[in-house]
Amino acid sequence: MTSTLLHTHLLSWPVDWTAVFNREAPLLIEIGFGGGHFLIDLAQRRPLANVLGVEISLPALDKAQRKVQTAALTNVRVLQSDARYLLQVLCAPAAIDEVYINFPDPWPKARQLHRRLIDVDFLHLLATRLKPGGLLDIATDHADYAVAITEALETTPYFDSRLATTFVTEDAARLRTKYEQIGLDEGRICHYYKWVRNQTAAPNDYPTPKEFPMPHVVLHTPLDLDAIQARYGRMRSSDQDRHVSFMELFRAHEGEALFVETYISEAPVAQRLGIVIRQREPGNYVISLHDLGFPRPTAGVQLAIAALARWLVSLHDEAEILHHNIPSDMLEVDVTHAA
Ligand SMILES: C[S@@+](CC[C@H](N)C(=O)[O-])C[C@H]1O[C@@H](n2cnc3c(N)ncnc32)[C@H](O)[C@@H]1O
């Protein structure tokens, strides 16, 4: 039987949704499905659609997966993902037919506002991934967020309201979600937005991140692993689009290798992974990506390996890079010790 739960690390960038669902059908996505009632209802009402639910909460995913199985639905998949990652990394341009966002977290405090999902930039990203004519339904019970969503929708050129107004405050036809019911019980007004992707071309400022052949650098240095380990300290390196932080260094229990815990941030992708400095023979080292945790060999990983190679070479006058499969300009990157 096909699993309802998709594993992010097994998905290609972008995903072939037809292959995932085993059939070609319109792709409907609910972002932040919470209790999962709306998702199940959507899948039951739309048996001819492929329905994808996305959540960051693991308990929510677990519950939804069980509900899908109990309801014996074959047209639903659920995935742990942040909405922006889903759209930019996993969805090709114009891959989506409908998007539903019910009661997104309002992040009400001034210092939290930047965490809100829906703004002009998010709508632009969404516009690149929705088909022309694709639907966008949003609901919120938070008055301030409703003001911000209204303004963002009215500002962005890529969507039109399917209603005579920007939003309505009643929608008896839809299934109530948990947070909708809480809002109504506590006397809040709900805002329902029903919009459509229009024909205005949206420049794709959100390219799908690329993966590269497994990067490596081979270098010579007279230093042995003890000397390298002794010189190591936390370091940082970055270019325009990527930030790398080298954290803890570990010595392999057996074998001649050092493992460098590394964080790489290249929005919307963030990875915590291991880079290995392995001694092949005295004075000869390979720096490469460890496969722990299913890392993706992105440009950020290339940069991290280049930065570590550059640092190693800087430790000794006779050190030199012998060969590599990384863009040569990356090997010029600056590495600074963290304060
Ligand atoms: C206020 S709850 C609403 C749940 C449900 N839609 C409802 O109406 O009852 C917001 C949900 O969105 C999820 N969420 C928050 N930020 C998210 C993101 N960036 N991507 C995906 N899901 C997110 C949260 O885990 C939470 O379950």
Ligand 1 contact, 33 CB (< 6 A): yes
Residue 70 buriedness (CB in 10 A; 0-12 / 13-18 / 19+): exposed
At 157 the three-state DSSP class reads coil
- The 10 Å CB-count burial string (b at 16+, else e) for 262-278 is bbbbbebbebebbbbbb
Ligand 1 contact, 82 CB (< 6 A): yes
pLDDT tens digits for range 19-28: 999 999 999 9
What residues have CB less than 8 Å from 76, skipping those under 6 apart?
4, 39, 40, 43, 51, 52, 53, 68
Ligand 1 contact, 175 CB (< 6 A): no
At 36 the three-state DSSP class reads coil
Do 140 and 169 meet the contact criterion of CB atoms below 8 Å apart?
A: no
Helix 120-129 with 143-155: angle, nearest 10 deg: 60
For residue 309, the model assigns a pLDDT of 97
Please list the active-site residues: 105
pLDDT tens digits for range 77-121: 999 999 999 999 999 999 999 999 999 999 989 899 999 999 999
- Residue 303 CA to residue 242 CA, distance in Å, equals 8
Ligand 1 contact, 57 CB (< 6 A): yes
Ligand 1 contact, 126 CB (< 6 A): no
Q: Which two tokens stand for residue 287?
A: 């720096």
Write down the H helix ranges in 186-298: 225-231
Residue 104 Cα to ligand 1 midpoint, Å, equals 5
Residue 299 Cα to ligand 1 midpoint, Å, equals 30
Helix 37-45 with 58-70: angle, nearest 10 deg: 40
Is the Cα torsion angle 109, 110, 112, 117 positive or negative in sign?
A: positive
Residue 266 Cα to ligand 1 midpoint, Å, equals 23
| Count of Cβ atoms closer than 10 Å to residue 207 Cβ | 10
Ligand 1 contact, 326 CB (< 6 A): no
How far are the Cα atoms of 66, 78, 166, 170, 222 from residue 176, in angstroms, in the given order?
20, 20, 20, 11, 68
For residue 188, the model assigns a pLDDT of 96
Nearest CA to ligand 1 atom 27: 34
For residue 335, what is the DSSP state?
A: -
Pocket test for ligand 1, best of 40, 103, 186 (most atoms within 8 A of CB): 103
Pocket test for ligand 1, best of 6, 39, 52, 55 (most atoms within 8 A of CB): 55
Ligand 1 atom nearest 83 alpha carbon: 20
How far are the Cα atoms of 36, 185, 223, 302 from residue 65, in angstroms, in the given order?
9, 28, 53, 36
Ligand 1 contact, 41 CB (< 6 A): no
Nearest to 74 by CA among 147, 2, 176: 2
Ligand 1 contact, 55 CB (< 6 A): yes
- Residue 299 CA to residue 311 CA, distance in Å, equals 18
Q: 5-197 architecture in CATH?
A: 3-Layer(aba) Sandwich (3.40)
- Residue 141 CA to residue 160 CA, distance in Å, equals 21
For residue 1, the model assigns a pLDDT of 54
Q: Where are the domains of the chain?
A: 5-197, 216-337
pTM, 2 dp: 0.93
| Count of Cβ atoms closer than 10 Å to residue 246 Cβ | 23
pLDDT tens digit at each of 339 positions of the chain: 568 999 998 999 999 999 999 999 999 999 999 999 999 999 999 999 999 999 999 999 999 999 999 999 999 999 999 999 999 999 999 999 999 999 999 998 989 999 999 999 999 999 999 999 999 999 999 999 999 999 999 999 999 999 999 999 999 888 999 999 999 999 999 999 999 999 999 999 999 999 999 999 999 999 999 999 999 999 999 999 999 999 999 998 877 999 999 999 999 999 999 999 999 999 999 999 999 989 999 999 999 999 999 999 999 999 999 999 999 999 999 999 987
Residue 31 Cα to ligand 1 midpoint, Å, equals 7
Nearest CA to ligand 1 atom 22: 32
Do 213 and 325 meet the contact criterion of CB atoms below 8 Å apart?
A: yes
